[in-house]
Amino acid sequence: MSTTAAVEAIDLVKHFGDTRAVDGVSFVVPEGSVLGLLGPNGAGKTTLVRMLTTLSVPTSGTGRVAGFDILAQPTEVRRSMGLTGQAATVDEILTGRENLTLIGRLYGLPKKYVRETTEMLFERFDLTDAGDRMAKTYSGGMRRRLDLAVSLLAAPPILFLDEPTTGLDPHSRSGLWAVLRELVQEGTTLVLTTQYLEEADHLADEIVVVDKGEVIAAGTPTQLKDQAGRASVVVTLTRAADLDRAAELMRSHSSEVHIEVGSRRLTAQAGGLGDMTRIAAVFETSGIELDDLGLARPSLDDVFLHLTGHRAEDAQDPTNEGVPQ
Amino acid sequence: MTAVQTARAPAARPPISPPSLLRASSTIVWRNLLHIRRMPEMLLDVTVQSVMFVLLFAYVFGGAIQVPGTNYKEFLLPGIMVQTMVFSSAIVAMGLTNDLQKGIVDRFKSLPVPRSAVLVGRSISSLIHSSIGVAVMALTGLLIGWRIRNGVADGVLAFALLLLFGFALIWLGIWVGSLMRTVEAVQGFMFTVMFPLTFVANTFAPPESMPAWLRAIAEWNPVSAVTQACRELWGNGLPAASDAAWPLQHPVLVSVAWSLALTAVFAPLAVAAFRRRSRD
């Protein structure tokens, strides 16, 4: 198993005037893995991606993409990666196919390859019929898929996605997730930024949480959730009449039991799976009928709240990083 | 560390051969011209609008304006062509700001192409854009009685001067386009600059009739030199009055000098502003 780094950020710093958009960020993305850069608006995610993809020059620090230094070998970096999302875009006046022709010419790819690959990608992204229409007539989801097709034309081993699903409806979002998972299976390394905790949880092998330009946590989704606090066992009873007795049974295993009468639900702090099986066994012998019993881990939203003291979604920073001013 | 051999078999990657500046620029020109073909209304500014200008001035104001040694239509055509070339700086600025704003420049920058290709491609397509306007105006002029009365060589030289002057002003457009954030801002700014620049000149009326201070400004305006040069080369009227300012006495030479000077001032400013914008 190769553990070569596909992408490395080495103490990256970017200041815009007095604003420290990125303030010393380092991480390593092993080849073939998915890194999720998670953080609220204005956290510095887009600026990080712009630096790693050579669109923006770091104030200090550097990075490597496919082993090439972003400062010393920008052309090699550009040959090795694709970029899609907020910071890169499609030409609305051109048709879908013309967009790929344009990019193919700029890569200097053989015409035949561009033609064939375009049809293949359009087939895959369900754009074949819309291929000869101007991109400005496309829906949000189609536009993202076209953007992705453009980024994949040169088959880059590394793909940067800046908020790939922001503004998409749930259906388009899950469609895009499926495509991204396929790419990962084919061996593509992904670096994606997202404000959606669910998205990072869903796609990423490793998550780097950034807030105000700094890394505030890093790890696998599971590790991060464990950091935020312990899991809890959630029991839903069939009959409300059993609530008191069930609560007593659970108290013998956990000091903190929370009762929700309306939904007949009891929540007990637990250490993990072991506690859950023990509580399950107790109910088994008690004769109390259960609708459901399970282990609830804290969501990434809880993780964020725990790490930053504010929720991810309502952390609106006035200095939006999308378009650096 | 050397290039990483990725999980994807190297053979699966197509041969990438980054294009030369020339090829990358011509690809961007192709793309910009495709925009014009898709949206012919983009040409309204240099076609319908220019024809309208020619007809309005020739027939509405023409009778009221006395020009020495020729009729007003002959006098008007060179002036209005210079005005069209001046407006190419607004066209380049709006196009560039639009591409920056929409992230198209970012897309190009993420590819292994020379970054200056964006500017070169933009400049060439804007010059083509304005040249279409000049051609439309030449045809309109021919229909209403304007003629190139001197030889072919002088005729061509005048068109070359127009292009050279347009090229110089394109740098102004790139500078403004790189500094401003929205197309609306660019439009507002450029038109505020372009209108006095093209009207306080000998384009539409002889400066002799202006108040002395305004006449001095008009006669030193580079637009006037280029207009006077075209008029003389095409045989559309007399040489400048003997009391006219020095630039109008040597219009061809001064037109070339102004073009070079404007390029020398605005090209470094433009490239620096675009670079600065590109670093963020």
pLDDT tens digits, one per residue of B103-134: 888 889 899 998 889 999 998 998 898 899 89
Interface membership of A289 toward B (CB under 8 Å) = no
Alpha-carbon gap, residue B186 to B177, rounded angstroms: 7
The predicted pLDDT at position A52 comes to 96
The predicted pLDDT at position B5 comes to 41
Alpha-carbon gap, residue B110 to A161, rounded angstroms: 13
Nearest to B13 among A90, A93, A155 (CB): A155
The predicted pLDDT at position A3 comes to 61
**Which residue of chain B has the CA closest to A46?**
B280
Q: Structure tokens of A280?
A: 């399950």
How far apart are the CA of A207 and the nearest CA of chain B, in angstroms? 22
Alpha-carbon gap, residue A137 to A95, rounded angstroms: 9
Backbone angles phi, psi at B91, to 5 degrees: -65, -45
Using an 8 Å Cβ cutoff, are B20 and A83 in contact?
no
Q: Structure tokens of B273?
A: 């502003």
The predicted pLDDT at position A87 comes to 57
Nearest to A109 among B5, B16, B30 (CB): B16
Residues of A in contact with B107 (CB under 8 A): 83, 88-90, 103, 150
Using an 8 Å Cβ cutoff, are B207 and B225 in contact?
no
CB contact under 8 A, B6 and A57: no
The predicted pLDDT at position B214 comes to 95
Best residue of A14, A51, A55 to probe chain B, by most B CBs closer than 10 Å: A55
Nearest to A87 among B6, B39, B106 (CB): B106
Q: Tell me which residues of chain B, numbers 8 to 27, contact chain A at a CB-CB cutoff of 8 Å.
A: 8, 12-19, 23-24, 27
**Which residue of chain A has the CA closest to B110?**
A78
pLDDT tens digits, one per residue of B131-164: 998 999 999 999 988 999 888 999 999 999 999 9
The predicted pLDDT at position B210 comes to 92
The predicted pLDDT at position B241 comes to 82
pLDDT at B204 over 80: yes
Using an 8 Å Cβ cutoff, are A39 and A199 in contact?
no
Question: Which stretches in chain A have pLDDT values below 50?
Answer: 1, 314-325
Mean pLDDT of B36-49: 85
pLDDT tens digits, one per residue of B16-28: 888 899 999 999 9
pLDDT at B2 over 50: no
CB contact under 8 A, B16 and A150: no
CB contact under 8 A, B108 and A106: yes
ipTM reported for the complex, 2 dp: 0.83
Bridge partners, A81 (sequence order): A158
As a whole number of angstroms, the longest Cα–Cα distance in chain A is: 74
The predicted pLDDT at position A182 comes to 92
Alpha-carbon gap, residue A300 to A312, rounded angstroms: 9
Best residue of A3, A50, A93 to probe chain B, by most B CBs closer than 10 Å: A93
The predicted pLDDT at position A61 comes to 96
Q: Structure tokens of B86?
A: 């001046």
**Which residue of chain A has the CA closest to B3?**
A67
CB atoms within 10 A of CB B152: 8
pLDDT at B70 over 90: no
The predicted pLDDT at position A323 comes to 38
Which amino acid belongs to residue B125?
A: S
From the list B79, B84, B85, the residue with the least C-alpha distance to B228 is B79
**Which residue of chain A has the CA closest to B25?**
A106
Mean pLDDT of B22-45: 91
Mean pLDDT of B228-255: 91
